[in-house]
Structure 1
């Protein structure tokens, strides 16, 4: 049996233990001195989702100027870098033989026309047969066809600009023998530039014709406004990318075909609360921030994140504009601990 004295000691110990667990002694967090922290009000700002890609510039129209026939160059009617108009004569090839053939064909036509006029008078006097007149009429048509054929040969020996643009560097000189496929020079219409760039096919819903993009040339250190004019109808099966084409006005001719451009595409624009990444606490896949309540107590909140930009991250839920963010001095805080705000930087 337990003695009365032992029972008294046992009951005294239980009472002491219960007293140690009382709510008054459990408020050690609130009894601590306030922790010095730095706070700043959360603000909503306009943010943009941006997608970047590399693109290559192409001229609006671009060709290598060559000859359709094998012949010698007799004259070049342009200098390097000249601006030319559509239809302007650029190159003359040797054409003496064709010119002689044209003179002969014209003489034959003139003869057929004279004979037709003579036969027409004789037919009126019933001194010539209608069949003879018809034969001369056919001969006249053949002479006209021959002239058209020779004129086509002459046109191949007078190379003209198919569109307005800027000439490139001359590759040959007068007297050189050219053949089909030999490049004599280049012609580019750079008044408007085409910019082709690739995007992941997952972003196809974020682009549309008529959409504005910004294209930056690091070589020039300048940004240019562009507009998407077309989107490819097929996705590349190798890398699952899709090609889009944008147009850039180039009135001063700064942009050149082949230049590399960094394309920035704005896919979304909205109001968001952004905080410094340094104010974020992450534990595995969960993210937290510390908020100072109106009673100057620290409150840890779980938040959902959105887009990121250098040094900052979007808070989509868990905190809102107007609340006081503790962005420095929260490493040793406990939930509900008093804080002493020191202001913001």
Structure 2
């Protein structure tokens, strides 16, 4: 029994020692003091000023530029076909080559027409001689006017027949209607060619046409002579073009107007059907405010920025308009000389103390 009491007393003393060592010993007091000091230090850091970069607002001249997409078209483009049917007797072009206007490209069988033309020529020669003799006889009053008129009509009729055959022969020869590059041919020598058979495509793409659409609001700004800059996926070069035609009506679905420009293409870097990313300079705004995009915070009703005033952050609602990749235009809410916060925006709240790390002018 005494042994049990001794064990209880020993356990009680051990617990008392542990409690004393944890809460009342000099070491425990020092630890508590250190924790309290650390808490005060953390609170001080939390309520300390936020280090930020600020930008001094100033008026800036900026070009009013919009980015649109368009398509590249050939200056002239035609699918070559024959006006008559027959077997092909000659192909006089190489696929993908340059051809000149009027160059013979394909010839269809026409020997029967050539023979008929030759026959008409013989008859015409005889008719000319007959007409000449009758004309002399008429002057000498050896024949009547009616006899001479009959010989003249016969001559003119033969000339007309010759013209008809020449026209038929011309339709058996396909010539290039303009200079350009001819594409892949769809016919072979000896094959039968009909008016429905496509021969090849002929394309002239110097200059190239660039077709695109702009919003209706810019109709009064853009016009013939306006310059555009654009680039394509197939080339790293930047190209320029000049507007030369505008569609006279507005698309009722998109409320846009179609514009067409011409771009020099001496190196052949532009290809018909290509995609153009167009940079269109409409006009210049002489005085406006531009801020880095990250400085403007979207809000439910508008947008806002934080301004440095008397050492603290002050929020200001602003109205925005034109945007670029890195800048945004402010049309209301700021004035030149304001100090706009452009960094540390995650920590921004109204009345937050600020410390200026850098001033951007």
Q: Normalising TM by the smaller chain, what interval?
A: 0.7 to 0.9
SS at match of 1:122: helix
Q: How does 1:257-336 map to 2 (within 5 A)?
A: 257-270=272-285, 271-293=287-309, 296=311, 298-329=313-344, 331=347, 334-335=350-351
Q: 1:185 aligns with which of 200, 213, 224?
A: 200
Structure with the largest fraction of helix:
2
Give the direction of change, closer, same or farther, for the CA distance of 1:256–1:288 in structure 2 (3 Å limit).
closer
Change over 3 Å in CA distance of 1:48–1:126 after alignment to 2: closer
How far apart, CA to CA, are the structure 2 residues paired with 1:201 and 1:314? 21
Task: Kindly indicate whether the alpha-carbon contact (under 8 Å) linking 2:306 and 2:348 is maintained by their aligned counterparts in 1.
Answer: no
Gaps of 5+ in 1: 1-31
Give the TM-score normalised by the residue count of structure 2. Answer: 0.77
Distance 1:301 1:176 in 2: 79
Task: Give the Cα–Cα distance (whole angstroms) in 1 for the partners of residues 340 and 303 of structure 2.
Answer: 14
Choose the corresponding residue for 1:144, options 152, 155, 159: 159
Matches of 1:199 and 1:277, distance apart in 2: 25
Give the 3-state SS of the residue equivalent to 2:206 in structure 1: strand
Question: Secondary structure at the residue paired with 1:225?
Answer: strand
Deviations 1:43-81 (A, max 9, x none): 444433333332222111111111011111111111112
The answer for the alignment partner of 1:226 in structure 2 is: 241
Moved more, 305-314 or 168-177: 305-314
Secondary structure at 1:137's aligned position in 2? helix
Deviation at 1:228?
A: 1.6
- Matched ranges for 1:7-22 at <5 A: none
Distance apart, 1:239 and its partner CA: 3.7
Q: Report the Cα offset of residue 286 of structure 1.
A: 4.1
Paired residue secondary structure (1:142): helix
Q: Secondary structure at the match of 1:112?
A: helix
TM-score by length of 1: 0.81
Q: CA RMSD in A?
A: 2.6
Task: Confirm whether residue 236 of structure 1 aligns to residue 284 of structure 2.
Answer: no
From 66, 71, 92, the equivalent of 2:81 is: 66
1:71-108 per-position Cα deviation (integer Å, ceiling 9, x unaligned): 11111111112222222222211111111111111111
Structure number, greater radius of gyration: 2
Aligned length: 312
Cα pair 2:131 2:152 within 8 Å, conserved = yes
Q: Using the TM superposition, give the Cα deviation of residue 134 of structure 1 relative to its aligned residue in structure 2, in angstroms.
A: 1.4
CA distance in structure 1 between the partners assigned to 2:339 and 2:106 by the alignment: 76
